Structure 1
Amino acid sequence: MKVKILTAMASIMLFASCSDFLDQDPNTALTEEQTYSKMDNIEPLVLGMYSSWRNVQKDRGGLMFQLGTDETQQGAFQVMTTPGQAGLDYYNGFLSQENTALAEQWDSRWLVLQSAGQAIYALNNNTEADTARRNILLGEASFIRASLMFELSQYWGEIPILDQARTQELGYGRQPLPDVYTYIINDLKVAEANLPATQSNKALPVKYLAQALLGKVFLYAPVASGARDYTQAKEWLGKVISSGKYSLLANYADVFSPDHANSTESLYEFQFNNTWPDNNQIQWQTGSRAIANLDQYAYFGGYDLLVPTQYCYKDKSAGGIWEPGDKRKDASIRYDFTYRGITPTIPAGFGGDELDPHVKKYEDVRVDGRQSFWNSGKNKPYIRYADVLLCYAECLNELGSTTDAEGYVNQVRTRAFGGTLPAGMNWTGLSQADFRDRILDERMRELAFEGWRRMDLIRTGKLVQYVKTRNKWAAESGTIAEFHNRYPISLKEIQLNDDINPEDQNPGY
């Protein structure tokens, strides 16, 4: 059975991936009995999960789900040379069950989920007297399982539920969405009840992060799951706001500066630095190939995997999203490619867009002139307080309190304009429908390249409508369809998992 193989692989991968940033040196080859009987053996497993969760956010893999939106797309040279990956933007025949780029993302996350299920089962059956320690570990493992199930279900729909206490009953097949979201919500409630308010190790979650993700789950849950609930979402997000633990930084650009890592705006960041294996290589994938050809030690060089769409980088007057004076524009997107007085040229045979605007948020000036941009290692945001405020505002609007919702959006916009909203830039007097239309642009301005856009388009039913006109490659192919709201289950999963058969594939593939 495939899952037995995955269990062994997960243990090897998770223990091997524990790097110095967790200050752990776990033992390997633990027997199941040892793991289940001693918390000293369970704790390294839980810590290893956080290392591995971080590692799926690294390099190309951590950006794959951002392809094929109206916010980001692949650079031209990538599309020309990598047809399978290009299918994620073209929405053509290469976006199929044979797509290895997607299969890798599915597989890497299930390895972590398998270990989360193992740890939860072990902790629920542990009889040691130190219940306080046990409860924190249970909260941490439950948070991991919930966060990954939420991500996978958003992109693939019905997914297996890995619960060792119910393996005979559930098997390893895809489960109905109501059951999947019941698990996600219950896991997050366990996490919220057991996680501490602070953790000295920033790689580990706290109570307020579980509250924020609960709010997002109730907001983002598919209607078919029966779990979308704006009142519940408002309640959980409101707990974060009323806690007084978080606030917006005065300067938007500071949010992405290593000097302000894990700030009062951050509920959670994936922790990285400039030394392998704790570098994230994101700049390698988001910078300009023309700069890379000029100097491998230029901090904003790269290889154009992920670039902004024209809709994302243009001003509103030119058909894009940016309003005059919004400081988030230049903090998020690079428009100027002059490096040490030299402006590079695009060599023949490239895609031609290497000097078009690029992602700026992950540029790591600490490597400039000293290390290759492959060693980029700024932290990667997961949930920020600005996101909490915008999600809370959406809930208020859906519940009929649009005027109150405008106030929370204006908090975010005030910071975006340097602390004072210019005349005409505050949101006021909107109808509920107008608010719905405008909030997606506001979320792109605030949260561009942070990984939420595809989910935002799916939950609002806008994926096909917006991507087919705003994404260059999707517009060129003209083949995006409603069934693309879900990714295909990989052929390897169907072949190896006895409980997922060809007829279980998502429609359209």
Structure 2
Amino acid sequence: MKSLFPNKVILALGLLALTACEDFLVEEPKTQLTEAQVYGSEENIRLLVSGLYTQWRNTKQDRGGFMFTLGTDEAKQGGQQVRENNVQAALDKYNGALNASNTSLAEQWNKRWPVVAAAAKAVYYANTDDIKAQASFIRATLNFELAMLWGPIPIIDLEDMHEARQPLPAVFASIVRDLEFAVEHLPDTQTDKKIPTKSAAEALLGKVYLYAPEESGLRDYSKALSYFDRVIPKHALLPVYADLFNTTLDQNSSESIYAFQFENIWPDNNMAQHHAGSRAVADLDNNTYFGGYDLILPTAYCYQNREDGGIWEPGDTRRDVSIRYDFTLPDGREPTITWTGMQDELEPHIKKYEDERTQGVQNFWYSGGNIYYLRLSDILLCKAECLNELGQTAAAVDLVNSTVRTRAFGGMLPAEYTWPASMSTEEFRAQVLDERMRELCFEGWRRMDLIRTGKLVQLVGERNPWAQAEGALAAYHMRYPIPESEIKQNDQINEEDQNPGY
């Protein structure tokens, strides 16, 4: 990764504006400045961190925002996407093209490390705890994601740099340190919603203790529970699940703990609907807000009812908020399958990212609702998992029934769909995985949920049609391959450092 950490700096996210400052240029008339000179002022560091938020948000924007959700038991690629791009198709097929040279994965890896590197500089040079806490939070989020998906990773810390892959105990210890600092120094509220609060750091720290791989030695249900208990009283579930995804309402509600801030105006649009919508609708009218190009579709398990082998129970309001089944246009026209001949163009699609504000006036590419990273219902389900693992299954069942499931059924949970207090630990584990899909589908947590529970190979093999047809999914696919480009560029990572199986 040597290319990410130059000794001399001409760049820094957000700092190019300094070239227009006459005093700055008169004071230091040089073509290159040392890091200490660039990062030596509080104003420069604040500019850097402001740029970090945009770069971090951009990892959730456009096609890349869905890459890690593909290849799960929750979501799959559309048929035309698989046919057009063998490299991307490998994310669902788990075939030989899922290898070190896979450019779809390399792109996601390469998007994250410059942000980690810049955050590390901000942590090192920041002269206020507030700015250091913000940079620590951003670095922790990306390191957590990278470590969960790729395993051991470098630790980028200017006080103790390790550009080689580090053991998971060290990686997760560094993530915990960053989040503990953020918890201590972030405020309870922020006027600017792109900046995290103390609650966001507490919630993520709890999730780190819950999600940390066993080999990290950091998984601790009691510690996770303690952080969740700090967060939960500060937030409240919205009474109506649909309001979470209504772009005409304030999406920074009492339920949102941290969300990536988007608008339906370029360059702040998320473009999610462009990839989640139906090509058949797009072919008929590209200003209809549920059109798109079939990059990501729900699996049959995710869109079918219980009686048909899926997850949905009668009366669960989340079903029709999360999944689009009807493709009738607002003016009554019915789309038909396009030139591709792919039947899945009119199979159920993701509905959560639709933005009605674009209807009739903008292409669906301009979809711009917030994308949730942390919200209360997720934390309630995480707390329930901790209670279950700590031998308090009845309390876990009661928590899920009285909050997430009651809201899902419109405020009145029918007796036949109330989980029994007598549920066993194992039964709860299975049920809560389904409940997380119902509540959080397509919000980015499913792959991590399957990895941490050891269920990826089994459930993806059973429920993802591309993986099932290919028959190549194996235990080593619990981790992605380290990109070939990283191995070539980083003197500290060699072929022998590659994840097993690749």
* 1:129 corresponds to: none
1:29-428 paired onto structure 2 within 5 Å:
31-123=34-126, 126=127, 134-167=128-161, 170=162, 172-241=163-232, 244-258=233-247, 259-339=249-329, 340-410=331-401, 411-428=403-420
1:451 alignment partner, SS class: coil
The correspondence for 2:474, drawn from 471, 481, 502, is 481
Aligned counterparts of 1:342 and 1:466: Cα–Cα separation in 2: 38
Letter in 2 for 1:260: D
Letter in 2 for 1:3: S
1:381 alignment partner, SS class: strand
Q: How many residues align?
A: 487
Aligned counterparts of 1:148 and 1:11: Cα–Cα separation in 2: 21
1:491 equivalenced with 2:484 (yes/no): yes
* 1:131 corresponds to: none
Aligned counterparts of 2:59 and 2:11: Cα–Cα separation in 1: 16
* 2:444 corresponds to: 451
Aligned counterparts of 1:13 and 1:418: Cα–Cα separation in 2: 45
Task: Name the CA shift for 1:421/1:491 in 2 (closer, same or farther; >3 Å).
Answer: same
Deviation at 1:424, TM superposition (A): 1.6
Moved more, 385-394 or 428-437: 428-437
Aligned counterparts of 1:384 and 1:55: Cα–Cα separation in 2: 20
Task: Name the CA shift for 1:29/1:86 in 2 (closer, same or farther; >3 Å).
Answer: farther
Aligned counterparts of 1:16 and 1:150: Cα–Cα separation in 2: 29
1:18-37 paired onto structure 2 within 5 Å:
31-37=34-40
Aligned counterparts of 2:75 and 2:147: Cα–Cα separation in 1: 21
CA contact (8 A) 2:144 2:208 kept: yes
Aligned counterparts of 2:327 and 2:405: Cα–Cα separation in 1: 28
Deviation at 1:2, TM superposition (A): 2.6
Deviation string 1:414-452 (CA, Å, 9 cap, x unpaired) is 000000001221112211111011110000000000000
Deviation at 1:68, TM superposition (A): 0.2
* 2:20 corresponds to: none
CA contact (8 A) 1:37 1:122 kept: yes
Deviation at 1:51, TM superposition (A): 1.0
Aligned counterparts of 1:295 and 1:490: Cα–Cα separation in 2: 39
Task: Name the CA shift for 1:361/1:116 in 2 (closer, same or farther; >3 Å).
Answer: same
CA contact (8 A) 1:11 1:115 kept: no
Aligned counterparts of 1:13 and 1:93: Cα–Cα separation in 2: 36
Letter in 2 for 1:246: H
Deviation at 1:274, TM superposition (A): 1.1
Aligned counterparts of 1:122 and 1:416: Cα–Cα separation in 2: 46
Task: Name the CA shift for 1:143/1:45 in 2 (closer, same or farther; >3 Å).
Answer: same
Deviation at 1:29, TM superposition (A): 7.6
Deviation at 1:47, TM superposition (A): 1.3
Task: Name the CA shift for 1:479/1:14 in 2 (closer, same or farther; >3 Å).
Answer: farther
The CA RMSD over aligned residues, in Å, is 1.8
Moved more, 404-413 or 222-231: 404-413
Deviation string 1:81-106 (CA, Å, 9 cap, x unpaired) is 11000000000011000100000100
* 2:21 corresponds to: none
Deviation at 1:457, TM superposition (A): 0.3
Letter in 2 for 1:353: D
Aligned counterparts of 2:82 and 2:9: Cα–Cα separation in 1: 32
Letter in 1 for 2:327: F
Deviation at 1:13, TM superposition (A): 5.0
Deviation at 1:34, TM superposition (A): 2.6
Letter in 2 for 1:256: F
State, as a whole percentage, how many aligned pairs show the same letter: 55
Aligned counterparts of 1:298 and 1:65: Cα–Cα separation in 2: 27
Task: Name the CA shift for 1:38/1:368 in 2 (closer, same or farther; >3 Å).
Answer: same
Aligned counterparts of 1:143 and 1:41: Cα–Cα separation in 2: 19
Letter in 1 for 2:309: G
Deviation at 1:33, TM superposition (A): 2.1
* 1:22 corresponds to: none
Deviation at 1:348, TM superposition (A): 3.3
Aligned counterparts of 1:215 and 1:75: Cα–Cα separation in 2: 35
Deviation string 1:147-185 (CA, Å, 9 cap, x unpaired) is 100000000000000011123xx3x11000000000000
CA contact (8 A) 1:157 1:177 kept: yes
The correspondence for 1:462, drawn from 455, 460, 473, is 455
1:479 alignment partner, SS class: coil
CA contact (8 A) 1:7 1:115 kept: no
The correspondence for 2:427, drawn from 434, 450, 463, is 434
Aligned counterparts of 1:253 and 1:94: Cα–Cα separation in 2: 39
Deviation at 1:260, TM superposition (A): 2.7
Deviation at 1:10, TM superposition (A): 10
Aligned counterparts of 1:298 and 1:107: Cα–Cα separation in 2: 34
1:268 alignment partner, SS class: strand
1:383 alignment partner, SS class: strand
Letter in 2 for 1:81: E
Aligned counterparts of 2:4 and 2:347: Cα–Cα separation in 1: 47
Deviation at 1:32, TM superposition (A): 1.4
Deviation string 1:310-365 (CA, Å, 9 cap, x unpaired) is 00000010000000100000000000000020111102334221000000000000
TM normalised by structure 2 equals 0.94
